[in-house]
Amino acid sequence: MRKFSLGRLLSNTYLGAMLLFFYAPIAVLMAFSFSSEKSRASWGHFTLDWYAQLFRNPEILSALRTTLLVAVISAVLATVIGTLSAIGIYGYRKGTRGLIMNLTYLPIINPDIVTGISLMILFVFMKMNLGFFTMLLSHMAFNIPYVIYSVWPKLSQMDKSIYEAALDLGATPGYALRKVILPQIAPGIVTGFILAITLSIDDFVISFFTSSGVQNLSIYIYSAARRGIDPTLYALMTLMFVVVLGLLSVVNYRTGKAAEKAEQKRR
Give the number of other Cβ atoms within 10 Å of residue 135's Cβ: 30
Domain count, the chain: 1
24 found inside a domain:
no
Which helix (H) or strand (E) segment is 86 a member of?
A: helix 58-90
Give the mean model confidence (pLDDT) for residues 203-220.
Answer: 89
- Euclidean distance between CA atoms 216 and 198, whole angstroms: 14
pTM (predicted TM-score): 0.80
18 found inside a domain:
no
To the nearest whole percent, how much of the chain has pLDDT over 70? 93
With bands split at pLDDT 50, 70 and 90, how would you rate the model's confidence at 258?
A: low
2 found inside a domain:
no
38 found inside a domain:
no
Boundaries of domain holding 117:
49-266
Which helix (H) or strand (E) segment is 222 a member of?
A: helix 217-227
- Euclidean distance between CA atoms 64 and 221, whole angstroms: 11
- Euclidean distance between CA atoms 69 and 18, whole angstroms: 35
> How many CA atoms does the CB half-sphere of 87 hold within 13 Å?
19
With bands split at pLDDT 50, 70 and 90, how would you rate the model's confidence at 56?
A: confident
28 found inside a domain:
no
On the question of pLDDT at 42 being above 90, the answer is no
On the question of pLDDT at 135 being above 90, the answer is yes
Predicted pLDDT of residue 19: 87
- Euclidean distance between CA atoms 71 and 65, whole angstroms: 10
For the chain, give the mean pLDDT: 85
64 found inside a domain:
yes
218 found inside a domain:
yes
Helices (H) and strands (E) in the chain, counts: 12, 0
221 found inside a domain:
yes
54 burial level (CB within 10 Å; 0-12, 13-18, 19+): buried
With bands split at pLDDT 50, 70 and 90, how would you rate the model's confidence at 213?
A: confident
Indicate which CATH number applies to the domain containing 175: 1.10.3720.10
Give the number of other Cβ atoms within 10 Å of residue 184's Cβ: 15
Which residues lie closer than 8 Å to 202 by C-beta, 6 or more apart?
218, 244
